[in-house]
Amino acid sequence: MSKANDAGAAARRKADEILTKKQDIERADARDKQRQAEDAKTAKLKALRLAKEAADKAAREAAPAKRGGGATRPR
């Protein structure tokens, strides 16, 4: 009977190893997907920030330069 127990224990260990490897792979895949999503979000936010900075710069260049401290025109 001990051979049957040993075979059963060995089969259980092998199944546990396979399951553990499968779980590790699933965790790694989930981590990779999350990292890709975060990278995409970061890239989108960076593009939006750069576009806003470019629009702000264009608006500053298009607006007449205002200088402080000078005399004001009488109305």
Q: What is the pLDDT along the chain (75 residues), one digit of tens a residue?
A: 577 788 899 999 999 999 999 999 999 999 999 999 999 999 999 999 999 999 999 999 998 766 655 556 665
CA 68 to chain centre: 44
Residue 43 and residue 30: Cα distance in Å, rounded?
A: 20
- How many separate helices (H) and strands (E) can be counted in the chain? 1, 0
- pTM of the prediction? 0.58
